[in-house]
Each structure stands twice: as structure tokens, then as C-alpha cells.
Amino acid sequence: MESVGIVLGVVSLLAGFKGAVDGYNLIADISTAFEGASFLIVKLKVENERLRIWGDYYGFNDTEKCARLKGVSKTAQSLIFYILMEMKMVTTDVDKLVKKYGLKIVQVEKDIGNDPDLYQSAWSESTYVKDSAKLQAAMDRKGLGIRKSIRWTITEGPKFEKLVDRLEYLNDSLERVVPRSDLEMLALGLSSYILPFQNTNNSLATIQQSSQKLLASCATMKHIKLTTAKIPAAVTTIADGEVDQGTPLPNSTAIRVPATWTRPSDSNLLEVFIEWQEINRKLGQTDRHLVYSRIQNLASILAVPKPSLFCLLPCLGLVEDSNYAKQYTGHKRVGYVFQYPEDTSSDTPPVTLEDLIRSASTTKDKSKKYAPLGDRFRLAQSLASALLLLHSSKWLHRNLRSSNILLFTTKSSQSASTPSIRSPYLSGFEFARPDQSDEPSLQRPQAPPNPASGPPPADPYLHPTIASPTPARSSRLTDIYALGVLLFEIGIWRPVSSYAQPTAEGTRNLLLHNVSLLLHGSMGEVYANVVLRCLSDFGSDAEGDALDKEFWKKVVRELDGCRA
């Protein structure tokens, strides 16, 4: 781009950003015109959302007026401006889009389509940048907008891929000029809402093989959505006799057992652990079948290789307990066979976050009363990110609690007995279900009251609406509430059970009251406000993808900014 003299300011930067976004919008509705186009469209949407999230982070809007760029040098601001203008040129210069990048206008609607002279005068032998004012005036006279009046098709895939690669380079350049603290979080924000619902097996396979981290997350999300759409699950069945079990791990709702598996394909002996799930014998046959189907679908999801951001263990397959089946004819107990994460020691079985917190609360060694603050921030952010990805895959956990967060000892750990809280893993999926309107929620078994002590305290992780005698349907908000309780527990580093009241509403009120008392000073205002949002249902009616976006902005991204 030719160098020109400009006076940079908020107005120039906002105009440059708006122009770049408008350029993306112009080609946002490209039709799939050749095999594999969906992969390129996903890449284009990735770059589109990267730009939008980058702009949102730095306040590129009329309210914040680029607030976070106040400390950036004028030289850097000039580079930002030129990069944004280059994005606009790349995405709005129609001559180049047609000749260089394999895009073609295929339909011009309404009056523009019926007036060849108007079309010719606006586009013939000119670029969009030069004649945009003339075209926009014509659109205004006809009551049309540019995006509504023009549609594109991809005529040559390799050319179009060059366009997407160029946009990726420009986005990378923006992030190099003004680095952000939450770049890694882009994968989470993007995979929440950019994926197309239509895809082909071929293009899905292509994306899964991509080396780009963002696309890898997106591909995994797409696979999960496909898996939940009534597609038969392909799960490895592990014979009962191939597994040699050890001693069950303590304090777990679903029984966890270290084991070894002799893999038939190569006779290798693998250190694994099994998480057993008993299909409630009190359920009717229809509900038992439903639970077993969900176990199979979830196992197929867990078996797909995923980035560590998902906090999900690789599942090698399912094993059924033959002794249980003999004891209870017609019933099943099924176990997820999990592989140990990379860089963790199989010599030391995993512990739960609940075990770690309880041991810290009872120790007399003051240096071990609390986990390091930086590690707790990382733990909280990892769990929030994992929940966002799970919700984006259209599944609900429905049992998020410290006893279902597994921690492993890393091989590089200085202490062979100290698990790493910076890399948590979700477990305890016995109540998990797809987040779909036609999927019933199976109720939890109620603890019987003790005649001597009366009714037990309410489960502190359960949202008041699902802990009532007539429970409401579980939702993403009830999962987010459980995360808020978990974040409170991480903040105080004490068992949250001590805050349990006779009713779930009483428990929530007590937690809300103690957030300001206990978390503001020790964990900071940002962390405390995140906990308040989770416990207060965000104070909005957002749901579905809109809730995912709100959760991304007000929880995941905020926690990523917590440092110690």
C-alpha cells in the first residue's frame, strides 16, 4: 500500500475497523459451489470471528472508542490502521476478488438485477474502493443494502484459498503488533458459534487433519455435533477379560479403578483407569436403554482426539462388568476405559479436586493451606473453558463438582505425590445428556432423610430450580451455576459443603453473601464478579448460542485475564 500522510486518531481507527468488518460481510454469504468449499468457508468464518473478537477486546466500538489502545505507540497504531485498510481492500476490490481469488457475482437481486445499466455503471472497469460511493448511493435510492443485493460463488477453490490465507496473515499481523493476553482463548470463542450445520464427511476429515489449532478445535466441535445428531456411535468394545483391575479410588460417585489393559491388536499392556457407571436398576427398560445409548455416544465423543483445552481424557473404549450382569439379570454396569494423559505418571493414580481441598483444609502445615494463587487462577480458567466447549458441543454435564474434577501427577513434577491443579480433567458423566429439547433428564436419586438428624443439607452444587421437589429441566445455566459454586470453592480453598443449607436457595444466598467477604480480597475483583455472575444466572434471559457468547465474554475471557 502506498504510504500517505494521515492524522491517526480514534475516528480513523474505528473507520478502518468498520471497513474491514464490512469487507468480510460482503462475502459472508458465499454459496458452496464445489466439493470441499465448506472447509474454506469455515476458514473464512474463523478469520472473520478472529477480527471481530480482536476488535471487541480492544474496544473498537463507539462506546469504548479503542480504550485498550491508549497505551499503544503511534507507530503501532499506524500499522494497525494500514492492516485494517488492507483487509478492506482485499475483501472489497471486486476486480481482484473475481480475477485473483476465484469469486464471482452470481445473483443481483430486485431492482439492481433488473437494471443492467445501473450494474454496469457501478462495476465495469473499476474497483469497489473507487466507486463505492456511487454504488452505495444507488443502493440507498433503491432501499437496498450492498450485502442484500449481491451474492457470490466460489469458482476456483485454490484461488479462494489464497484469499483466506492472506486474511489469516493480516489477522496474525494485528495480533503481533498488539498482542493480547487471551489469544489462546480464541479457539474457545470461535468454536462456540461459527460452525456451519451442513458439512460433508470429506471436508470434515480435511479439517480434522489441519495443523491449525483453531480449525482443529472447530473440527472437533463439528464432530461432536454430528455425533449427537442421532448418528450411531462407533465405540471400541473392550472384553471384560482383557482388563485387570486394581483397588478402587476413594471418594467418587462413579467408581474409579486403576487397571491394566492388554490390547489385543498388539498385545501391549497399557496402564489405564476405569470409571464405572451403574445404570440405575430402578429405571424402566426404556430409560435404561436411553442411558446406555448416551454412554455409547459420550464414549465416541471422548474417543475423538481433542486439544487439551477440552479437559477431557482420551477414552479407549467401553467395558461391561460381566459379574454385575450375572448378579442383576438384565442390568448393566458400564465402564469408560480412560488412558492417562500425556506427560503424567501412571504410577500415581489421579486424585479429585475435592480430595486435594479437604487435605489442605485439615493440614497443620500453613504453607500447604492454600494452593498457589496463580495455579488456582489457571484451574478456574481451564474449567470454565472446558464447560464452554462442552456446551458448544450441545451436551450438558449436569454433575459438575470438585469430586468430579480429576488431577494427575505430571512426570516433570518435583514431587511425585503432588498432582497438578493446572491441568484438570472433567469426569462424572453419569447424568450428562445432549442439550436438546426432546432429550429427557433422568432424575437424581434422593438421599433418604435421617430420622435422628432430619433432612440432609441441600446439594450445594445444584441450582435451586432443579433441587426443588418439582425440579425444572436442566440447562446450560444450571451447569454454569455449578461452575460458580466450584469457582467459589477454588477461591476459598475449603470444602463448599460447609456452606450447604437445608434448601438450595438458602445455600445460594449464603454463597452470594460470602463472595464479597471472602473473594474480593483474596482472589481480586474480577474473579469475584465472575463468581457472582455464575451464581446469579447472568441476570439475563440469554440462551443457546447467545448464552455461549455471554459466557465467553463475561466468564472465560475475564478469568483468562486473572494473573498472579
Say if residue 185's pLDDT is above 70: no
Q: Is residue 222 part of a domain?
A: no
Say if residue 375's pLDDT is above 90: yes
What is Dmax (Cα atoms) for the chain? Answer: 90
- pLDDT for the residue 231: 38
Q: What is the pLDDT of residues 212-236, one digit of tens each?
A: 444 444 444 444 444 444 434 456 7
Helix (H, G, I), strand (E, B) or coil at 257: strand
Q: Is residue 362 part of a domain?
A: yes
**Structure confidence at residue 30 as a pLDDT band (50, 70, 90):** low
Same domain, 323 and 396: no
Same domain, 116 and 15: yes
Say if residue 432's pLDDT is above 70: yes
* Whole-angstrom distance, CA of residue 21 vs CA of residue 9: 19
Of 287, 314, 339, the last residue of a domain is 339
- pLDDT for the residue 29: 62
Q: Is residue 109 part of a domain?
A: yes
Q: Is residue 419 part of a domain?
A: yes
Say if residue 206's pLDDT is above 50: no
Same domain, 465 and 515: yes
- pLDDT for the residue 222: 46
Same domain, 132 and 268: no
Q: What is the pLDDT of residues 483-513, one digit of tens each?
A: 999 999 999 999 999 999 999 999 999 999 9
Domain count, the chain: 3
Q: Is residue 370 part of a domain?
A: yes
Q: Is residue 553 part of a domain?
A: yes
Bigger pLDDT: 122 or 181?
181
Of 339, 368, 397, the last residue of a domain is 339
* Whole-angstrom distance, CA of residue 261 vs CA of residue 339: 10
Other C-beta atoms closer than 10 Å to the C-beta of 114 total 10
Contact, 68 vs 10, CB < 8 A? no
Residue tagged 489469516 (cell numbers) = 168
Same domain, 147 and 127: yes
Provide the pairing of β-strand 103-108 with 150-154. antiparallel
* Whole-angstrom distance, CA of residue 472 vs CA of residue 348: 40
Same domain, 69 and 137: yes
What is the average per-residue pLDDT within 110-130?
Answer: 42
Q: Which CATH number covers residue 513?
A: 1.10.510.10
Q: Which amino acid is at 194?
A: I
**Structure confidence at residue 84 as a pLDDT band (50, 70, 90):** very high
Same domain, 316 and 370: no
Same domain, 166 and 307: no
Q: Is residue 220 part of a domain?
A: no
Q: Which of 48-52, 118-122, 305-309, 509-513 comes out lowest in average pLDDT?
A: 118-122
Q: Is residue 197 part of a domain?
A: no
* Domain limits for position 408: 348-439+457-564
Say if residue 387's pLDDT is above 80: yes
- pLDDT for the residue 113: 44
**Structure confidence at residue 430 as a pLDDT band (50, 70, 90):** confident
**Cα 204–chain centre separation:** 19
Please provide the DSSP assignment of 224-247 as one string.
Answer: HHHHHTTPPP--PEEPGGGEEE-P
Say if residue 366's pLDDT is above 80: no
Same domain, 377 and 475: yes
- pLDDT for the residue 116: 45
Q: Which amino acid is at 290?
A: L
Same domain, 53 and 172: yes
Of 281, 313, 339, the last residue of a domain is 339
- pLDDT for the residue 526: 94
Same domain, 104 and 14: yes
Same domain, 299 and 371: no
Nearest to 535 by CA among 434, 464, 433: 464
Helix (H, G, I), strand (E, B) or coil at 460: coil
Please provide the DSSP assignment of 525-562 as one string.
Answer: HHHHHHHHHHHTGGGS---HHHHHHHHIIIIIHHHHT-
Helix (H, G, I), strand (E, B) or coil at 422: strand
Q: Which CATH number covers residue 244?
A: 3.30.200.20
Kindly report the average pLDDT of the chain as a whole number.
Answer: 76
What is the average per-residue pLDDT within 319-341?
Answer: 87
* Whole-angstrom distance, CA of residue 425 vs CA of residue 246: 21
Bigger pLDDT: 144 or 287?
287
